[in-house]
Structure 1
Amino acid sequence: MPLYVPPAPAPALHSVLTALGSPTAVREARTPTLRAAQGPVTPELPLALHVLDHITPEGLSATRLTGWRFVIRAGDRPVAAADTVLTPDGWAFSHFFEGPYVPSTERALQQAEALLQPYQPRLLSVPGLYMLTLWLHGDPTADPAEGHPEATDLLVPLAPAPPGIRAHRPHRVSELLPVLTHRATPVPLLGSPA
């Protein structure tokens, strides 16, 4: 079933298009693949980027929208990604980057296309575990800037995933959240050595 990828806010897209049109922004980016791209490059697949601020011992989570991420394509291949952030003046270009999360995101989106249920794809970052997931929200018509992971939503860890968590394996939030809770909970110190 096709994924429903909602459009990014127009100013976010405009800021990325402006940056792509700026020789300075592209030349100064730490993205050799983007700098070497031949022909036109286009921003595609806008995904709302949420951050999982904290996980409580009860497993409840708080998320917040921190930006929109676009895959930058040259022809038929992804060469980089671009992030935007919300500023007091509106959406603004943040930076270009490349690395393993770019092809991993594309792979996870291709996997999600094969699922029977419709989903709205988002990204969910778990900074405390250095983890990024494709968040497949069960309500494809929801506002992509709102909400939190529902128990029946799917999370697909992107590569590289933390040790012990397999990349590209979809997990229901209700299954993965306890693992993340355990990993994110600090271990109490039993005392200092004598």
Structure 2
Amino acid sequence: MPLHVPPAPAPALRSVLTALGSPTAVHEARTPSLRAAQGPASPEMPLPVHVLDRITPTGASATRLAGWRFLIRAGNRAVAAAETMLTPDGWAFSRFFEGPYIAATELALAQAEAMKQPYQPRLLSVPELYMLTLWLHGDCAADGATGHPAATDLLVPLAPAPPGIAAHRPHRVAELLPVLTLRVTPAPLLGSPA
């Protein structure tokens, strides 16, 4: 198995298990698939969610850990996801959600499983582009909560991807980061007309 999933913090997992066990939390979730799920639902595939806050002119990236995302499986498929966030009191359940990124994450993880090289899966969000990628980190022993994308790591844009960026096509960070840099860099202001 080429994917080495980093362990989620125990309090983050406990908070998701508690929310799943709470009829109120599940009922109030705006996830019809989770409410309609037959049988027990379980959190799987914990992925640290990193946010790309900025890309410097030299192409270096500044990322931060925003939380942990768990796919919620009922039966043989993921029906929703649960997110946790770090609070002053520690890891806490944030929300359940569903949408296109659930299936896209499953597809990207299946693609990564088929690769020959081992990777540590993470998620990398690029808020300025409304973009989410599966970040395949080459150092499988690294702490999933820390670090920055290495030039040789892979980024797999999840569908829906921004226009002009192919979803589910793995890109080396060194190849995709310059494209993202151009997209998030504001265009220079031209002089006013005379």
* Fold similarity call, TM over 0.5: yes
Aligned to 2:52: 52
Task: Tell me how far 1:192 sits from its aligned partner.
Answer: 3.9
Aligned to 1:78: 78
Task: Tell me how far 1:193 sits from its aligned partner.
Answer: 4.8
Aligned to 1:35: 35
Task: Tell me how far 1:2 sits from its aligned partner.
Answer: 2.2
- Partner amino acid, structure 2, of 1:146: T
CA distance in 1 between counterparts of 2:161 and 2:185 reads 18
- Partner amino acid, structure 1, of 2:8: A
Aligned to 2:169: 169
Q: Which runs of 5+ in 1 are unaligned?
A: none
The number of equivalent residue pairs is 194
**Structure 1 residues 96-135: aligned runs within 5 Å:** 96-135=96-135
Percent of residue pairs bearing the same amino acid type: 81
CA distance in 1 between counterparts of 2:25 and 2:120 reads 31
The superposition leaves residues 141-170 of structure 1 with CA deviations (integer Å, 9 ceiling, x where unpaired) of 100011100000000000000000000000
Aligned to 1:26: 26
Instruction: Provide the TM-score with structure 2 as the length reference.
Output: 0.98
Other structure's SS at 2:105 match: helix
Q: Which runs of 5+ in 2 are unaligned?
A: none
The superposition leaves residues 124-143 of structure 1 with CA deviations (integer Å, 9 ceiling, x where unpaired) of 00001100000000001100
Task: Tell me how far 1:57 sits from its aligned partner.
Answer: 1.4
Q: Give the ranges of 4+ consecutive aligned residues of structure 1 lying more than 6 Å apart after TM superposition.
A: none
- Partner amino acid, structure 2, of 1:37: A
The superposition leaves residues 38-90 of structure 1 with CA deviations (integer Å, 9 ceiling, x where unpaired) of 11000000000000010111111100111000000101111000000001100
CA distance in 1 between counterparts of 2:69 and 2:193 reads 47
